[in-house]
Amino acid sequence: MPVGRAAHHANVGQKEGVTVPDKAIETVLEQHSPRLMLLPGVVGVGQGAAPAPSIKVFVVEKTPGLVARIGATINGYAVEIAETGAFRAASYAEVI
């Protein structure tokens, strides 16, 4: 018996043990960015793109404890952690 088109699309990308996001990444970022930004050492949160939409967390220093507190996934999206050091605003003279 052929599988209907809707049933086929519902299963695309699903594998055993793999979480498939059920919310738009923009919604997940809006919901989780405040919590992530409260973690000591987190200096930014944004959307990553490699290899699929992901949550990118920028940290001063990537430590095992901070990595554990952030987690590997959030609502089915992979989390990328980038060690950037502290962010600081550039003055106008530094930009030109």
Query: Does 5 map to a domain?
Result: no
Query: Does 73 map to a domain?
Result: yes
Query: Does 61 map to a domain?
Result: yes
Q: Give the C-alpha distances (Å, rounded to integers) separating 59 from 11, 37, 78.
A: 35, 10, 16
User: What is the per-residue pLDDT for 32?
Assistant: 97
Structural domain of 28: 20-95
Q: How many domains does the chain have?
A: 1
36, HSE (Cβ side, Cα atoms, 13 Å): 26
Query: Does 63 map to a domain?
Result: yes
pTM, two decimals, is 0.72
Query: Does 3 map to a domain?
Result: no
Query: Does 13 map to a domain?
Result: no
CATH code at position 38: 3.30.300
User: What is the per-residue pLDDT for 14?
Assistant: 45
* pLDDT band at 3; cut points 50, 70, 90: very low
